[in-house]
Amino acid sequence: MGARVPLTFRAEDRDTLWRERYTHPDPRVQRRVEVLWLLSQGETQARAGGLAGVSKATVERYVAIYRARGVAGLWEFHWVKPVSAPEAHRTASEESFQKAPPHTVAEARDRIQALTGLTRGNRRCGRV
């Protein structure tokens, strides 16, 4: 395992971290910034994590973000929101159901299968 490369902070990065750790509107960003600000003041990763109330793994993740994208990277969140299979057919399904509403759940299930090729049970088709 190689030696850990020490973090270096430019003066403007330290100023931004100091300013944003309490003023940023998103508390998740505030926590990230607080950890990095503590590190910029000479705290160890373990101590910075303890003071900020996050785990060692979380501190390491924040440091990796800072190393890769700088201070601006601390503001970014890259979450992946799952998309259900029927979502691709939403417009066509809604138009069909608005033009001719189904009378039963079984009829809705059969029409969904005809429109999308997706098989759904009665319980899933009956949800509003």
pLDDT one-digit tens code per residue, 37-54: 999 999 999 999 999 999
Express as a percent the part of the chain with pLDDT over 90. Answer: 52
> What counts of helices (H) and strands (E) characterise the chain?
7, 0
Greatest Cα pair distance in the chain: 69
Q: Which of 79, 14, 67 is nearest to 40 (CA)?
A: 14
Contact present, 100 and 70 (Cβ < 8 Å) = no
**pLDDT tens across 56-71, in order?**
999 999 999 999 999 9
d(CA 43, CA 36): 9
